[in-house]
Amino acid sequence: MTNTVKVGILGATGMVGQRFVTLLQDHPYFRITELVASERSAGKAFKDAASWVLDQEMPQNLRDVVVKTTAADLDVDLVFSAISGGKAGPIETSLAERGIHVFSNAKDHRWDADVPLLLPEVNADHLALVDRQKTSGKIITNGNCSTITMVMSLKPLHDVFGLKRVFVSTYQALSGAGYPGVPSMAIAGNIIPYIGNEEEKLEKETKKFLGKLGTEGVTLSNVAVSATAVRVAVTEGHTCAIAAEFESAPSPEEAAQVLREFQGPPQKLKLPSAPQRPVHVRMEQDRPQPRKDAMTEKGMSVVVGRLRKDPLFHLKWVVTGSNTIRGAAGSNILGAELFVEEKRL
């Protein structure tokens, strides 16, 4: 397939919007035709509207593209939404009513009964929920960035051993707060043991990710999750320290083998953004580390390490993943690739 699907990026000037821009360059399915942002950016060239924060250079072919608002006529088949949660909902609904498919990184529609909370390796079958939506354009949501990293390591083990309870502490990167994000005087030489709504998202979204699709929609999983979320002075990559109890207790060696062998529909379909291995396992005592591991397979894999027995539960481990790629823009793009592959466009 050539890049014949026309896509727009909502919130293109922000950090996640910029990730969409870089990840979609030369994509075999998608071609960026519109950059969309707020009223204050509308009418400006992208190079003037965006304060570019990524290590990669702003793509030359997009520098002079004029930024539009969502109210404008948009020459797109689908959009990737990086609009902030709380603002995104009405805008995304309006676009769907106009016949534009929306792949959203925002929280606003995640709990709509007919909207998939999609993580393609985990619950690709949930994409069928869009058939229940009455608008000609469909809305598909991405999960919370830390929840995605955690669930990527939970899903393979849940399928084989049956999860019962999960205790997780997250160590979340500064990039998760956007730019300019957390004030330097607050985070330098410090940690902040509170991130608004993160713990609730970890505890709640896991149940939908691992839920079963049926005739009445998604039946939530009964896996119990207890979460603590901490902001740390790391630039990129969320890390989760997890302890889990299973119906059938695996050994660390059995768990490692299951994680290494795990593949989902994106790998079987060989989707363009799919990593060869969604979960990598490291045996070194001091891995994973965000600086060394968050960008594994271009940021689309998560990395598990320190798999060992737990004296209170059954197993404990540490998992790291890129919060702006696997936990945000990259997962959304992978979901859109699945949408195209299933001929839903």
Nearest CA-CA partner of 70 in 49, 90, 86: 90
Contact in structure between 60 and 25 (CB atoms under 8 Å):
no
238 catalytic per annotation: yes
Three-state SS annotation for 174-227: HHHHCCCCCCHHHHCCCCECCCCCHHHHHHHHHHHHCCEEECCEEECCCCEEEE
d(CA 37, CA 314) in angstroms, rounded, equals 47
Q: Which of 101, 109, 126, 145 is catalytic?
A: 145
Contact in structure between 243 and 315 (CB atoms under 8 Å):
yes
Phi and psi torsions of 91, nearest 5°: -65, -45
Q: Which of 109, 126, 158, 238 is catalytic?
A: 238
Look up residue 201 and give its two tokens: 């998202």
Residue whose pair of structure tokens reads 């821009």 in the numeric block:
21
145 catalytic per annotation: yes
Catalytic residues: 145, 238
